[in-house]
Amino acid sequence: MPRFFSKDQDDNNNDPDLIKTYLSWKAPARPFRKKDRSYYTTIAIIVILLILIALLLREILLIGVLLAIAFVAYVLGFIPPEDVEYKISAQGITIGDHFYLWADLNSFWFAEKEGQKVLHVLTYLRFPGELMLVLGNQNEEEIKKIVAKYLPYHEIAPKSMIDKWSESLQKHFPMENPHK
């Protein structure tokens, strides 16, 4: 519930820790690794097969959806993300122009994605359900020490059934050739 102060009360309760920024850095907006040709070839083959099935079923709308998904996969795999500013403060986490209060955040853990360290933060919000902060050149232990003041830490990342299913699919049906 918001607290309202008169000007005199605000001057007396002026605590610099309430608005302190602990850490600020710039890094890519999402984990990114340039994909090789086999990734795009695999996407194209899968989409063509699904389009042929959709044509047999006379599902024209599904063909449009498949083409849109293929386009998004191409763009996300080919175009590197822009850099955004990440901030961790006493009030919450800021990613670019979006601010999240500590009260809206649930817990956190670290993982590696596309060869980059990432801080994952679960939220109580419907959207986004999870924040991903690319660490860039930041020290993981320093971030853990700051965020652990406000949120519980998971040693092992929590995984939903969809996460487990997705990892299994990626393991058994890779989208690109394994790197040598």
Q: Which residue has the higher pLDDT, 171 or 141?
A: 141
Residue 96 lies in a domain: yes
Does pLDDT of 125 surpass 60?
yes
| Structural domain contains residue 6 | no
Q: What is the CATH number of the domain that holds 112?
A: 2.30.29
pLDDT tens digits, 43-99? 999 999 999 999 999 999 999 999 999 999 999 999 999 999 999 999 999 999 999
- pLDDT for residue 15: 58
Question: Contact at 8 Å (CB) between 131 and 120?
Answer: yes
For residues 147 and 165, give the distance between their C-alpha atoms in angstroms, rounded to a whole number. Answer: 29
Residues 89 and 149 in one domain: yes
Q: Is the pLDDT of residue 6 over 50?
A: no
With the C-alpha atoms ordered 80, 84, 86, 92, is the resulting torsion angle positive or negative?
Answer: negative
- Residue ending a domain, among 12, 45, 79, is 79
Please tell me the predicted confidence (pLDDT) of residue 163: 86
Token pair 């050149």 is at which residue? 137
Judge if 96 and 138 occupy the same domain. yes
Number of domains in the chain: 2
| Domain identity same for 86 and 132 | yes
φ, ψ (nearest 5 deg) of residue 31: -65, 140
Mean pLDDT taken over the chain:
88
Same domain flag for 58 and 142: no
Whether residue 42 sits in one domain with residue 92: no
The label of the residue with tokens 């995984």 reads: 159
- Residue 4 falls inside a structural domain: no
Mean pLDDT of 138-147: 95
Are the beta carbons of 107 and 152 closer than 8 angstroms?
yes
**Residue 161: helix, strand or coil by DSSP?**
helix
Q: Do 44 and 103 share a domain, yes or no? A: no
Mean pLDDT of 111-134: 94
Q: How confident is the model at residue 17 (pLDDT cuts 50, 70, 90)?
A: low
Please tell me whether residues 89 and 115 are part of one structural domain.
yes
Six token digits for residue 173: 């049906």
Are 74 and 108 members of one domain? no
- Summarised one tens digit per residue, pLDDT across range 155-175 is 998 988 998 998 898 888 888
Among candidate residues 90, 94, 109, the one with its CA nearest the CA of residue 149? 90
**Whether residue 89 is found in the same domain as residue 161:** yes
SS3 180: coil
* Helix (H), strand (E) at residue 81: none
Residue 2 in any domain: the answer is no
115, 164: one domain: yes
With 50 as the cut, is the pLDDT of residue 2 above it? no
pLDDT at 27: 95
Type of residue at 130: E
Residue 21 three-state SS: strand
Residue 15 lies in a domain: no
pLDDT band of 180, cuts 50, 70, 90: very low
- Give the domain range for residue 94: 20-30+82-169
The residue-averaged pLDDT of 100-109 equals 96
Sign, CA dihedral 31-37-38-40, equals: positive
Residues 139 and 51 in one domain: no
Q: Report the share of the chain in percent with pLDDT over 70.
A: 88
